[in-house]
Amino acid sequence: MSVATSPRVTTATRVRSNRWAERRAGIGGILMLVGLWLFTTIWALNYPQTAQAQSAHLNEIMVGIVVLWNGLARLVQEPTVISDVILMVAGAWLIAAPFAVGYTRNSEASSAMWADIVTGAVILALGLFSFLGLRAGKAGAAETATA
């Protein structure tokens, strides 16, 4: 019996694949919630009606669209390295946006600044977790196939 057709290999690969599918769905669900959070921050945190707060929310909506679609895509197909990199870039941008766009702590939109930094860190962490999990899953599958 060859290694490729060994029941142990296929069972181990299937178990690893099922675990990663569950995590993928979990990450996708969290990303969808984070995307929805970004759409509602203006009301949830009662942003002032200033140009800075409106710029912050427009930024949040754009990142929210990317995060929401990324989360939806993870529910129907395997994530790729590109989708993880897109998440990490979106998270990093959301962390940097208050400083790049100009709604920092001394402005009237300080709640937007903190919301974006915290939410960006969550998105960045989820993208990194998914990236490392995807690499570990592929490396484990390759080890199992050669065993």
Q: Whole-model pTM above 0.85?
A: no
In-domain check, residue 146: no
In-domain check, residue 7: no
Q: Is residue 147 part of a domain?
A: no
Output phi, psi for 48, to 5 deg.
-70, 160
Say if residues 109 and 50 touch (Cβ distance below 8 Å): yes
Residue with token string 């400083």: 99
Q: Could you read off the pLDDT of 78-135 as tens digits, one per residue?
A: 888 899 999 999 999 999 999 998 887 667 788 999 999 999 999 999 999 988 887 6
Is residue 59 assigned to a domain?
yes
Q: Is 50 helix (H, G, I), strand (E, B) or coil?
A: coil
**Is 8 within a domain?**
no
| Full residue range of the structural domain in which residue 108 is found | 29-136
- Report how many domains make up the chain: 1
Q: How far apart are CA 109 and CA 10, in angstroms?
A: 54
- For 55, the enclosing helix (H) or strand (E) is helix 51-76
> Is a pLDDT exceeding 50 seen at residue 1?
no
For the stretch 16-60, pLDDT in tens is 556 666 777 789 999 999 999 999 999 999 988 888 888 899 999
- 114 lies in some domain: yes
Dist CA 72 CA 111 (whole Å): 28
